[in-house]
Structure 1
Amino acid sequence: MTHFSTLAIHAGYDSADCTNGNAAVPPIYLSAAFDMQSAAHGDALSAGAAEGFSYSRVANPTLDVLERRIAALEGGRSAVAFASGMAAVSAALLCAAEGGGRIIAARNLYGASVDAMDSLLPEFGIETDFVDDINDVRLVESLIGPDTRAIFAESVANPSTEVADVAALAEIAHRHGVALIVDNTVPTPYLFRPIELGGADVVVHSTTKGISGHGNALGGMVVDAGRFDWATDRYPQFTRQEVVVSDDRNDDWHSFASKFGIDAYIRRVRIKYLRTFGAVASPVNAYLQLLGVETLAVRLRQQVASATAIAEFLQTVPHVRAVHYSGLALAGDGHAALQSASQNELVRRDFPRGVGGMLSFEVDGGREQVARILDGTHVFAYVPNIGDARSLIVDPARIRHREVSPQFRRMSGVGDNLIRLSIGLEDTADLIADLEQAIHGAY
């Protein structure tokens, strides 16, 4: 079996396939459209019956390499790249639940995801049943009804770092014929692979974050495991005949399921959501993400080590009321006692390499003290992103969760005294010293 770091550099690309001189690095194809070579081939491309490229709103060679590489790293069958993580999340959920389905999801999701499911998707006839604890499997199962289309969870929640029991959720979902969609942005496939280790059916990413790793490219990804049966009464959109995948001139009619079989979901994501809504990733951004992915394993190892050391340090700092980093379950020396026993068990079982470089902590006081800490750092940058090579600091309640209702913020533990850190690649001692002086100065 090819190992992760090798796939991160080589998967999805063969220089012999490159028409521009066997380039060792995948080229950037800055072409809006491609020569379809013949009328017959153009017709086949438009019908989705042939592999290849005709228009970059549907597929592009640079994006194709990135899609194949992330699919390989996640242990999936195929993938579709989007212009942002939220474009990927929106397409994944809409594709599963379109036409009036319901989604079961945790309240502690990323703020924009909560906002989309709480206030926007209902406008499209899609409702969400939110649960306080996505690992309460009895409650989750009790909510599954005939119109439930998906369970949606984050493998590691942002910003609490609580981990989901993906295997338990998959067992429940599949027993009822429901798909499990997992956002794996925070740990990346280096630390956790929901398809291989948990049985997830679809994985989504904001590739802007750890996969890109340098804060210089927006992107998103939908990865399909390629093993869920979408051709059931629960998902009529996949068995309905549609012109876009048929040859109406020859009275040859198809649905996505009859045309593409186990690839019905990812083909619908590409043809109906990427192609129609047009949230297309830039080839330049795809290229930058390919460069970032090559160093993913090395970066994550260092970021996890630094995040663990910083979480341990913050527990000793006056005016720090609580530290939220489920990776402490791997630290030993009594640190795991700060987390719940069930979380400790899940982290040790599913995340032996760590949960990622993001953590959060609560401080005494409120907005005034938080602002002083934010403004008092010199190494940490006040930036609303995670997974960067640079260390970042932000107040989630005012920035990333601003669009979420106060009720949801309270239930997710996102108060005005919460600070989120994304640990980069600077020296750990410098990061600790920066936090120490900023917190001391705030009080």
Structure 2
Amino acid sequence: MSARPRSPRFATQAIHAGAAPDPATGARAQPIYFTNGFVFDSTEQAADIFAMRRTGFSYSRGSNPTVAALERRVAALEGAKAAVAVSSGQSAVLLVLMTLMKSGDAYVASPRLFGGSLGLMRRLDGRYDLKPQFAGGLSPEDFEAAITPETRAIVCESIVNPCATVMDLEGIAAVARRHGLPLVVDNTLASPALIRPIEHGADIVVHSTSKFLGGSGQTIGGVICDAGSFDWTKAGHYNLITEPWPDYDGLVVSERFPEISFAVACRLFGLRDLGPGLSPMNAFLTLTGIETLPLRMQRHCANARAVAAYLKDHPKVAWVSYPGLPGQAGEELAARYVPQGPGSIFTFALKAGEPAALTFITSLELISHLVNIGEIKSLAIHPATTTHRQLSAEEKSAACVGPETVRLSVGLENVEDLIADIEQALDRVD
């Protein structure tokens, strides 16, 4: 009796999922399809593709074979039913919120999020009346307390940017299920190599592929993953998913595509209407980056832990926010969700305040002063005056991004060289 077929393990999927040798040429690498449009076999095929009666490629803004390979790979790594790749992580968050909600709707959001996400949420509130209801804290109880009859979703990060707090995804997912709400998780800082939010109850997962998935700091991109787990018809508040589209011959997405309803709605509204499609070159580079994701994340976590431990014991450092260290706040959740380590992004504070933080950053020689994260190169930034500058002083303090704070994105260099660079920069701090 033959053994039951087994799904490939994570590292194998990172290399192979979503792509195959090109049938026309035998090329082993994923081809880059630099074309705006695709020739139809017939007028009937063209009409069917545009009416969503048949799958196929028509115009690269909505779908492209190279981009589709990336979508399949990320969906496989996240355990999702489908994925939609877009031009940036910010676009991914935007499309999720606008696909889920219409003016007057609300959603519960974590009070600690990437500064760009917070800025987008406030702008959407002021201009389009999509209301963020910020939870009072990070516990599941805090999220539940913020829910109102207008709430249509819950939004959080798996690992918080930039303080590295690991969220209780299972607890928050249980709250979402009790209230019939989809849980949206930004998994950028963890990547599926560390956390697969769908396994913990998430319904939608988003990434900025510009970070760990790509890894090289060469491309901008984003992706939205649909777990296929949420019952949109039962909830009844999501008109793009459960009500007819007049311009698609009365198509009801939840009826035609019951297992990938949200992904299809995102593609129709997000890519066909709004248009932030991903370049096939960026998709190709991201696919290449993902091939080494499991190996990179191991080294990222090991280096970050060593650097954080060094900083924690330094006399000029007031505190370090990295729950992978013993005795740190959030250590229990980090051990539960990310035993490999809570990523490589964290903050620390200088005892001498903002002047010391700025001096430290400008004194670094190996570590680059750069706003991105998740690259193979180590990076540093002063979030209070850059990524999180729009927050109030109280909000910055609560998010561990006060004026005395530095954010590090620890890369793949030899950790001894990183610590030596940090040491010489700290020597220049009063």
Give the shorter-chain TM-score range: over 0.9
Match in the other structure for 1:215: 217
Is 2:14 the partner of 1:5?
no
C-alpha deviation, 1:442, in angstroms: 1.6
CA change 1:414–1:31 in 2 (3 A) is same
C-alpha deviation, 1:223, in angstroms: 0.3
Is 2:265 the partner of 1:268?
yes
C-alpha deviation, 1:91, in angstroms: 0.7
Match in the other structure for 1:298: 295
Match in the other structure for 1:241: 244
C-alpha deviation, 1:134, in angstroms: 2.4
Match in the other structure for 1:173: 176
C-alpha deviation, 1:90, in angstroms: 0.9
What SS class does the counterpart of residue 261 from structure 1 fall into?
Answer: coil
C-alpha deviation, 1:262, in angstroms: 2.7
Mark the runs of 5 or more structure 1 residues left unpaired by the alignment. Answer: 247-252, 329-335
Distance 1:236 1:210 in 2: 34
Q: Deviations over 1:93-145 (max 9, x none)?
A: 2211224211111111000111111233342121011124221x223223222
C-alpha deviation, 1:19, in angstroms: 5.0
Distance 2:109 2:369 in 1: 29
When the two chains are superposed, the root-mean-square deviation of aligned CA atoms in Å is: 1.3
Match in the other structure for 2:4: none
C-alpha deviation, 1:276, in angstroms: 1.3
Distance 1:36 1:50 in 2: 12
Match in the other structure for 2:3: none
Distance 1:393 1:405 in 2: 22
What SS class does the counterpart of residue 415 from structure 1 fall into?
Answer: coil
Preserved contact between residue 213 and residue 293 of structure 2 (Cα < 8 Å)? yes
CA change 1:139–1:370 in 2 (3 A) is closer
Distance 2:137 2:362 in 1: 34
Is 2:301 the partner of 1:316?
no
Q: Deviations over 1:151-209 (max 9, x none)?
A: 1000000111111111111111011110000000001000000001x110000000000
C-alpha deviation, 1:20, in angstroms: 4.0
Corresponding letter in the other structure for 2:428: G
Structure 1 segment 72-91 matched on structure 2, within 5 A? 72-91=76-95
Is 2:37 the partner of 1:33?
yes
Distance 2:62 2:231 in 1: 24
Distance 1:145 1:56 in 2: 40
Q: Deviations over 1:48-67 (max 9, x none)?
A: 22121010010000000000
C-alpha deviation, 1:212, in angstroms: 0.3
Distance 1:273 1:32 in 2: 18
- Counterpart selection for 1:425 from 407, 412, 419: 412
Match in the other structure for 2:104: 100
Match in the other structure for 1:408: 395
What SS class does the counterpart of residue 149 from structure 1 fall into?
Answer: strand
C-alpha deviation, 1:258, in angstroms: 2.3
Preserved contact between residue 312 and residue 319 of structure 2 (Cα < 8 Å)? yes
What SS class does the counterpart of residue 400 from structure 2 fall into?
Answer: coil
Structure 1 segment 34-433 matched on structure 2, within 5 A? 34-135=38-139, 137-196=140-199, 198-231=200-233, 232-246=235-249, 253-328=250-325, 336-339=326-329, 343-433=330-420
CA change 1:122–1:178 in 2 (3 A) is farther
Q: Deviations over 1:288-334 (max 9, x none)?
A: 10110000011110110010001111012121000011122xxxxxx
Corresponding letter in the other structure for 2:16: H
Q: Deviations over 1:9-48 (max 9, x none)?
A: 1001122xx3540210101100011112211111111112
C-alpha deviation, 1:440, in angstroms: 1.1
What SS class does the counterpart of residue 388 from structure 1 fall into?
Answer: coil
Q: TM-score with structure 1 length normalisation?
A: 0.93
C-alpha deviation, 1:417, in angstroms: 0.7
Mark the runs of 5 or more structure 2 residues left unpaired by the alignment. Answer: 1-6
Preserved contact between residue 364 and residue 417 of structure 1 (Cα < 8 Å)? yes
C-alpha deviation, 1:372, in angstroms: 1.1
Q: Number of aligned pairs?
A: 423
Corresponding letter in the other structure for 1:83: S
Distance 1:142 1:204 in 2: 24
C-alpha deviation, 1:236, in angstroms: 3.1
**Segment of structure 1 superposing worse, 125-134 or 159-168:** 125-134
What SS class does the counterpart of residue 389 from structure 1 fall into?
Answer: coil
Corresponding letter in the other structure for 1:435: I
Preserved contact between residue 378 and residue 434 of structure 1 (Cα < 8 Å)? yes
What SS class does the counterpart of residue 152 from structure 1 fall into?
Answer: strand
Distance 2:174 2:124 in 1: 29
Among the aligned pairs, what percent are the same residue? Answer: 38
Q: Deviations over 1:212-234 (max 9, x none)?
A: 00000000000000110112323
Preserved contact between residue 80 and residue 221 of structure 1 (Cα < 8 Å)? yes
